Amino acid sequence: MEGTVINDRYKAVRELKPARDGKIYWVVEDQQKGKELKMLKGIALFDEKQEEEAKLEVDLLRRLDHPHVVKLLDDISFTAPNNQNYRGLILEYLPGGDLSQFFQKKLENEGGENEEEWEENDALGICAQIVLAMNYLHGENIIHRDIKPENILFFADEKEIKIADFNVSRVTEGTMSTGIAGSMEYIPPESLQAQGNENASFSLDIWAMGIFFQMLCTFRHPFATGNLFQTINNIAQNLRNPAEVVFPAMESLIQECLKIDLGERAANAAALMNHRSIVSLHQILT
């Protein structure tokens, strides 16, 4: 697909990440905007289900406007060189990559001469941006349902982030029953016990945020073992792996998110906005 000009406007420059689950991700040049770089997310239209899911994501992105949520710039339909039809979401391009790549780089350089210092304020700065974005989404009655490092993108400076990938997100007026969505390593204990259907509420996002917050400290998933069955068992029992470094201010935030009892877990991102660490950074970030 490299070099292909889509709809006489968007030239495919390079693949951002491998195609997966009928979705492709490419950096494209906008030929009508001085070859400005943008991101193309193509959703393969295999059947009516994919068409409906693509429409839901486009409709949701059109209503969003927040400095830490990726912006939809254009909505197109196109046929790829392999004759597959796609719904194309043209999104703003963030050149810093995603947080999973960032964490991997940190782990690879850990203890080496290329290791860069990472302090509590660095982690808190990203954490506060996530809380601000999620507070906005929850205020719009939107459950993201797939918060994880791969769906959080960096600007070039690796300090400012935006949340992306809303393909399983839903608008809700409260708690609703729905099929389980998202990545297994990030869904909460109650969803593991839901037997195919879960109560989709803001608490799903809060649990995933807690996992991500610890990864901002350690660069490692707190429940992962290399064995999916054991990882899921750890999630079900809230058995976090021992961590060498968890910043004190972050640990209290993590504790508010990673509670099995829904009555003890933060109900939504608004509850986290009042955390002292977030309050202290709020004025800086807004």
Distances (CA, A) of 275 to 156, 226, 238: 28, 33, 22
**Token pair recorded at residue 108:** 């690879």
Burial 114-149 (b: 16+ CB within 10 A, else e): eeeeeebeebbbbbbbbbbbbbbbbeeebbbbbbbb
Paired sense of beta strands 10-20 and 5-6, if any: antiparallel
DSSP H or E run through 143: strand 142-143
d(Cα 100, Cα 275) in Å, to the nearest integer?
26
Asked whether the beta carbons of 193 and 156 are under 8 A apart, the reply is no
Q: Residue 84 — φ and ψ, nearest 5°?
A: -85, 135
d(Cα 188, Cα 205) in Å, to the nearest integer?
9
d(Cα 47, Cα 50) in Å, to the nearest integer?
6
Q: Exactly one of 146, 157, 205, 261 is catalytic; which is it?
A: 146
Asked whether the beta carbons of 269 and 205 are under 8 A apart, the reply is yes
Asked whether the beta carbons of 180 and 198 are under 8 A apart, the reply is yes
Asked whether the beta carbons of 161 and 153 are under 8 A apart, the reply is yes
- The stretches of 140-227 forming alpha helices (DSSP H) are 189-192, 202-218
**Token pair recorded at residue 49:** 């289900």
Is residue 146 among the annotated active site residues? yes
Asked whether the beta carbons of 6 and 12 are under 8 A apart, the reply is yes
The catalytic site residues sit at 146
